[in-house]
């Protein structure tokens, strides 16, 4: 059975050379574990003062709509305020990307034009890092 501790569910590493916080989700979590994982992410992002996040969710198979709504309405705006902006690139599997984009609540990149944060989805890590570092 996969571990339930936040640090083992979401492995985080700050890449100072790229000013990039890389988070790799190790398995599909029970939704009850998500608050602690996001607290872990918050601590690491604030400690490194990093507003560029690569979130590798390729080992996940579904997204949780209530969590997605919370991320977009509360968490990302709050973190953008605290960090002076926020860009989040999600690295996904093709199946998860199709699932995410099929959700009626999916927001395309254009949605974020007037927001202090941006979220985008990628199947290629190099493309995700390039997008994160665009100015």
Q: Is residue 1 a part of any domain in this protein?
A: no
How many residues can be counted in the chain? 135
Residue-averaged pLDDT of the chain: 91
61-114 tens-digit pLDDT: 887 888 888 999 999 999 999 999 999 999 999 998 888 888 888 888 899 999
Q: Is residue 31 a part of any domain in this protein?
A: no
pTM of the model: 0.91
CATH number at residue 69: 3.30.750
Q: Which residues share a beta bridge with 32?
A: none
The total of other beta-carbon atoms located within 10 Å of residue 82's CB is: 13
Q: Is residue 32 a part of any domain in this protein?
A: no
Structural domain harbouring 15: 6-25+38-132
Q: Which of 2 and 18 is assigned the larger pLDDT?
A: 18
* CA distance readout (Å), 9 to 63, 66, 114, 130, 133: 15, 19, 32, 26, 26
Q: Is residue 44 a part of any domain in this protein?
A: yes
* CA distance readout (Å), 34 to 15, 46, 79, 80, 98: 23, 18, 16, 19, 22
């Amino acid at each position: 059975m996969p571990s339930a501790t936040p640090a083992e569910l979401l492995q985080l590493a700050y890449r100072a050379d790229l000013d990039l916080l890389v988070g790799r989700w190790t398995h599909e979590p029970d939704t009850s574990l998500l608050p602690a994982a996001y607290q872990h992410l918050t601590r690491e992002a604030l400690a490194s003062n990093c507003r560029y996040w690569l979130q590798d969710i390729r080992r996940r198979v579904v997204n949780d709509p209530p969590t997605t709504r919370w991320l977009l309405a509360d968490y990302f705006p709050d973190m953008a305020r605290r960090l002076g902006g926020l860009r989040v690139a999600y690295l996904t599997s093709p199946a998860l990307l199709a699932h995410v984009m099929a959700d009626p609540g999916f927001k395309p990149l254009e949605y974020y034009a007037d927001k202090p944060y941006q979220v985008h989805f990628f199947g290629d890590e190099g493309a995700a890092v390039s997008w994160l570092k665009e100015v």
